[in-house]
């Protein structure tokens, strides 16, 4: 829990340093921001791990086909990473890149969830046939 305060302090520090560097070399300032974002997300992901373990435990208790949970998990992962990249792009003023990344991520998530949608459609078809 102490590390949370460290993150906040580190972020504030980075903002100031970024502004100081930004006057002369915008590129290094940007890289600095990226590195700090990365570190914060890394630290946060470590805290996310027990939550994921808990969710996994819930899934196994439900004794269900793990496929659905897996797909959703992957989609969340893609979403997180894309969020990070898009924010960096927008920050540096390159919003076109950010938007393209968003579109790409949307498409990939849809592609990942194809098996889910197919099995759902199969189920509905089976039910319709049975009526």
CA 32 to chain centre: 21
Q: How many CA atoms are closer than 13 Å to the CA of 25, on its beta-carbon side?
A: 7
CB of 56: closest distance to another protein in angstroms? 8
Largest Cα span, the chain: 72
Rounded CA separation 121/61 (Å): 25
CB of 131: closest distance to another protein in angstroms? 5
H-state helical runs in 1-131: 2-22, 26-61, 66-91, 95-112, 114-130
CB of 92: closest distance to another protein in angstroms? 14
CB of 94: closest distance to another protein in angstroms? 15
């Amino acid at each position: 829990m102490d590390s949370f305060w460290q993150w906040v302090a580190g972020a504030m520090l980075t903002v100031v340093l970024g502004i100081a560097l930004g006057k002369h070399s915008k590129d290094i300032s940007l890289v600095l921001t990226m590195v700090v974002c990365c570190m914060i997300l890394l630290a946060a992901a470590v805290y996310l791990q027990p939550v994921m373990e808990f969710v996994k435990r819930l899934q196994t208790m439900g004794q269900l086909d793990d496929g659905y949970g897996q797909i959703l998990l992957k989609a969340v992962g893609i979403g997180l990473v894309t969020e990070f990249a898009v924010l960096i792009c927008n920050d540096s003023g390159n919003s076109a890149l950010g938007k393209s990344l968003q579109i790409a991520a949307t498409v990939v998530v849809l592609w990942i969830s194809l098996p889910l949608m197919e099995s759902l459609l199969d189920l509905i078809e089976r039910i319709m046939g049975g009526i």
